[in-house]
Every structure is written in C-alpha cells, then in structure tokens.
Structure 1
C-alpha cells in the first residue's frame, strides 16, 4: 500500500526513545502503528456511542421477540 507520508515533530519520553533505539526499532513506524491503533479504538468507541440507542432498541426487540429465524438454527 502506497501512502503519502508527512514529516512531523513529536516529544517522547526520553528513556522510552533511548530503549527503542537501542532495540533497533523503527521509531516512525512504531509511532504510526500506535497512532493507527488509537484511531481505530477511538472510531470504534465513537461508533458505539453514536449507535447506542439503536443497539439498545435492537437488544430490547430480541429480548421481547427472540432471535429472528431461531427455529432454523442447528445449535
């Protein structure tokens, strides 16, 4: 996957940065992976928050009516 990259400046914990360098880690890639994970987690949290009412309504419907097509389930 080809992506456009942009330089940025960050302030990091000195000891952590020193250890990462000593271990031969690619600091930019590690930071990018960490940011990607945080973005994914925040998107998920916001989706759940934005859709909480609909999810609750669906769960209530299931409680009252059962699982759709349950009679066809093999388990």
Structure 2
C-alpha cells in the first residue's frame, strides 16, 4: 500500500479551537493532544483514501466480478472446500 504521508516530515505548530471542557479533561488525564490528533487524522485520511480508491475502481471491480461469475476462477480446479 502506498504511503499516506511523510511520517518524517517536520512538525508544524498549529492553532485550533476545541471544546474547553474536553480540553481540560484531556489535560487532566495527561492525554498527548498532538499524538491523539495525528492518530485521528491518519485514521480519517486512510478512510478517505480507501473510499476514493473504491470509487475510482468501482467499474473495474464490477467487471472483474462479472468475469469471475461468468468464467469462474482460475483456481477453481484446485479448491478443496
């Protein structure tokens, strides 16, 4: 799978707005906000990339499934289940 982003890129300070109660509770639990945000963004990026890939390849997937339904799979002769 291709790399989603450059994990070795430099860090960049960023300002953002967040619910004040959520922030104070996260700080009280010593949650690393930067690491948590990076993880959440990586998860969202992966989901978005997957969705885009499926959208871009939808027709090819349909055609391949139709071909397999019509002709079977090359491995059908070797199946033991």
Give the alignment's TM-score, normalised by structure 1.
Answer: 0.88
Equivalent residue pairs, number: 75
Q: CA deviation at 1:20?
A: 1.1
Structure 2 unaligned spans of 5+: 1-6
The corresponding residue for 2:73 is 67
Gaps of 5+ in 1: none
Q: TM-score, normalised by structure 2?
A: 0.82
RMSD, matched Cα: 1.4
Greater per-residue helix proportion: 1
Aligned-pair CA distance for 1:14: 1.9
Deviation at 1:45? 0.5
Is 1:24 aligned with 2:30? yes
Higher relative contact order (CA 8 A, sep 6+): 2
